[in-house]
Structure 1
């Protein structure tokens, strides 16, 4: 029986506190050289794609800018377009919000990126739940969860209609004679729905992939169903083998009712890693990295996500608060999506107190142990074996790697783990195709069969 091939991608960290800023090798999140180095390392290692997350507002906590995160980064489309010029095969994936954007402009941007990159564009479709982000936009406010996904589904449907609005020989160019054949209906579209009522002509011809590859990141039931119906890949936050297998089985099991097969949706968890000459050395380095990632201030801020209270008076190296979380509507961690990760703050606080007491953990110890465990820790041989085990056991189809040092943290993985995966015969030694769909083993959307001919060279 043939072994599954592993998919690997690289995430350039965005708004998070996982990067070790104190390391002298840590670089800028604004200078293009950082993005270029990261992307070119991923391409050298034959990764499927580079992934950029995006935040639409600076984060706040306690009414002040949250200075423990990246506080800003250039626009996603700008970065990805620039990276298209310094890479040849690497896929370019960007997070673009469906709650506060419009289908026409997003479709136009992704179609343009797919043309400029010769078929390497991908879109991570996300929604926003909070009024905090909405204040940056004219429409303002926010949408309840069911309406967020309703809008997202219609947004994606509408964008796909725009991508598909060019057919057959609607534009054929002959540079030698300077003649063009055009169809007056090229790009024509009409969409009437609950969220969008638009019509006109889409002005970007069909791109090499027809449509960008579609990613989805939601873990809720609505998010999983959205991915099963519409996405080409879904991110996962599950890092253990058992949890990964359960998620994999659940999401893949939803595909049939949407007329899809298991190979039409890839499951790609995010994964951190720490490598050492030996497993023992890597374990010691991982402990050091976790303490660098979680300062005392970070630990207190993280606890406030759950307690919904000002805990600045507590000692991060002391015991957990003996007061219960505030269950009110106001959240001290305004603008932090992590608040919604803890659906039962009282139960979470009770569990954390019990674990802290049993292990004699301080606040900082608890935050480190519950929130900043690296996914893969060990020698290159150990990490390669573990990644292979997860994929062959159907806990994932591959991983999106998030290094703790940017931009050079991916280099050691590329130089030591990738060759071992190649020796196992589970990872490519060369790219076999030119588009991101080729790398991911995905077929083109059916509408591509009538796609536009490219301009003659």
Structure 2
């Protein structure tokens, strides 16, 4: 989907922020492509990171999972957890990059503040101030069974724990007085009771950039209070503008300005020498991403039933979902199965969609499809009209899926004057045009 560039306004043109998402091994990655590589070999991570740095991107983003997904008691093989742990990978990448920010997804439900704050502080030091933490939470007992606390944490309590976790981590990161020793951090709350001194002084950016991805009202409030970057799901123009406006207006409640939070939706892209060629290529990629088996698995996630007898190219099942099911484990299925199934069935009937076509439509991210010039114009329009502050690009190939964008689109953004031609600072906060936290003061 592309859009023409808007007319110039009187305000200064905003800089576009770009990040690269290492492809997840799910319905994003195209395994069957001859250019698809390993999700485990370090060379894959190094290639994507160096490509992003060559393109002067702000950061590289790694997703994370804590348990292999299961379907009908069997391991579901298209899973992001089938690769090395994110912080380990990023510490290695710090040695083969110079400027690129390094963002890891780490769970606040099944970690402890002191230990995790120390690990991120270590990455921040080793990288020269380029670390970022994507704060995520988990409430399902299936994942919790891997840990001592099990799955006790109610879904409603996820953000309470995450907010307190971040509060403690920030207190630890901020406690080292400039030119002196660290002060003792004492915290007593519903989730944590600690007395500790950090073992590392401030990093060049004081502490890691915080990323958050929740979209509920409580998630948006958590982002406004806590995050530096929001990994948004709202990638199209009007929903993007509405989300951008809503989250930015919440910042004032916490004494923050709109520039202190960057909103970056996850998006895909497909390029061609003509718009028609790009659209044809995009259709082919989507059908590779959502195979017949993937389409059935996608519906089973909501229906909670074994749907393997249904034809992926046939109509959506007219049976109701099962309220409580263990057919699918480890997927963040929709809470209201009946409501979601009813909406999907109505949509399929209205548009005459098969199971596979419905799965393709429902799993699609915003995708910028067209020539390099039209994609550059569309990205620029989104940022200049406040639908986003930048984008986290999710390529469909590992590890070379970003190469074409860096070679063909980035130069056009640079010509427009909306993307850097060289790195101007050394820390991720500088890349993102974020303020540096005040040292020696708890936030």
Could you tell me the TM-score, scaled by structure 1's length?
0.92
User: How do 1:225-240 residues align onto structure 2 when only pairs under 5 Å count?
Assistant: 225-240=221-236
204-213 vs 19-28, which moves further? 204-213
Give the match for residue 454 of structure 1: none
**Are 2:39 and 1:43 equivalent residues in the alignment?**
no
Give the match for residue 31 of structure 1: 41
Give the match for residue 7 of structure 1: 17
1:330-383, Cα deviation, whole Å (9 max, x unpaired): 35322101x13xx44333323333332343322111211222355111110111
Give the match for residue 66 of structure 2: 56
RMSD (CA atoms): 1.5
User: How do 1:112-123 residues align onto structure 2 when only pairs under 5 Å count?
Assistant: 112-123=122-133
Q: Which runs of 5+ in 2 are unaligned?
A: 1-10
**Are 2:325 and 1:330 equivalent residues in the alignment?**
yes
SS of 2:264 mapped into structure 1? strand
| In 2: Cα distance, 1:77 partner to 1:70 partner | 14
- Distance of aligned partners of 1:153 and 1:70 in 2 relative to their CA distance in 1, 3 Å threshold: closer
Tell me if the contact between 1:68 and 1:298 (Cα under 8 Å) persists in the aligned partners: no
| In 2: Cα distance, 1:152 partner to 1:308 partner | 29
**Are 2:251 and 1:255 equivalent residues in the alignment?**
yes
Give the counterpart of 2:435 among 427, 430, 443: 443
Tell me if the contact between 1:210 and 1:448 (Cα under 8 Å) persists in the aligned partners: no
Give the match for residue 385 of structure 1: 377
Could you tell me the TM-score, scaled by structure 2's length?
0.95
> CA offset at residue 329 of structure 1?
2.8
- Distance of aligned partners of 1:391 and 1:362 in 2 relative to their CA distance in 1, 3 Å threshold: same
Give the counterpart of 2:400 among 392, 400, 408: 408
| In 2: Cα distance, 1:212 partner to 1:142 partner | 29
Tell me if the contact between 2:236 and 2:366 (Cα under 8 Å) persists in the aligned partners: no
Give the match for residue 186 of structure 2: 190
SS of 1:391 mapped into structure 2? helix
> CA offset at residue 169 of structure 1?
1.4
Tell me if the contact between 2:66 and 2:81 (Cα under 8 Å) persists in the aligned partners: no
Tell me if the contact between 1:377 and 1:383 (Cα under 8 Å) persists in the aligned partners: yes
Aligned length: 432
| In 2: Cα distance, 1:163 partner to 1:351 partner | 46
SS of 2:403 mapped into structure 1? helix
| In 2: Cα distance, 1:166 partner to 1:433 partner | 24
**Are 2:426 and 1:434 equivalent residues in the alignment?**
yes
- Distance of aligned partners of 1:345 and 1:138 in 2 relative to their CA distance in 1, 3 Å threshold: closer
SS of 1:40 mapped into structure 2? helix
> CA offset at residue 256 of structure 1?
0.6
Give the match for residue 150 of structure 2: 140
Tell me if the contact between 1:15 and 1:55 (Cα under 8 Å) persists in the aligned partners: no
Tell me if the contact between 2:267 and 2:365 (Cα under 8 Å) persists in the aligned partners: no
| In 2: Cα distance, 1:187 partner to 1:73 partner | 38
- Distance of aligned partners of 1:195 and 1:347 in 2 relative to their CA distance in 1, 3 Å threshold: closer
Tell me if the contact between 2:15 and 2:419 (Cα under 8 Å) persists in the aligned partners: yes
Tell me if the contact between 1:276 and 1:380 (Cα under 8 Å) persists in the aligned partners: yes
> CA offset at residue 69 of structure 1?
2.9
Tell me if the contact between 1:187 and 1:205 (Cα under 8 Å) persists in the aligned partners: no
Give the match for residue 177 of structure 1: none
- Distance of aligned partners of 1:229 and 1:420 in 2 relative to their CA distance in 1, 3 Å threshold: same
User: How do 1:90-239 residues align onto structure 2 when only pairs under 5 Å count?
Assistant: 90-170=100-180, 183=181, 186-239=182-235
1:37-86, Cα deviation, whole Å (9 max, x unpaired): 00000000000000001001111122211123345111111100000000
Q: Which runs of 5+ in 1 are unaligned?
A: 171-182, 451-457
Give the counterpart of 2:274 among 247, 271, 278: 278
Tell me if the contact between 1:18 and 1:404 (Cα under 8 Å) persists in the aligned partners: yes
SS of 1:400 mapped into structure 2? strand
Tell me if the contact between 1:134 and 1:141 (Cα under 8 Å) persists in the aligned partners: yes
- Distance of aligned partners of 1:104 and 1:449 in 2 relative to their CA distance in 1, 3 Å threshold: closer
SS of 1:133 mapped into structure 2? helix
User: How do 1:278-427 residues align onto structure 2 when only pairs under 5 Å count?
Assistant: 278-326=274-322, 328-337=323-332, 339-340=333-334, 343-372=335-364, 375-427=367-419
Give the counterpart of 1:243 among 231, 239, 243: 239
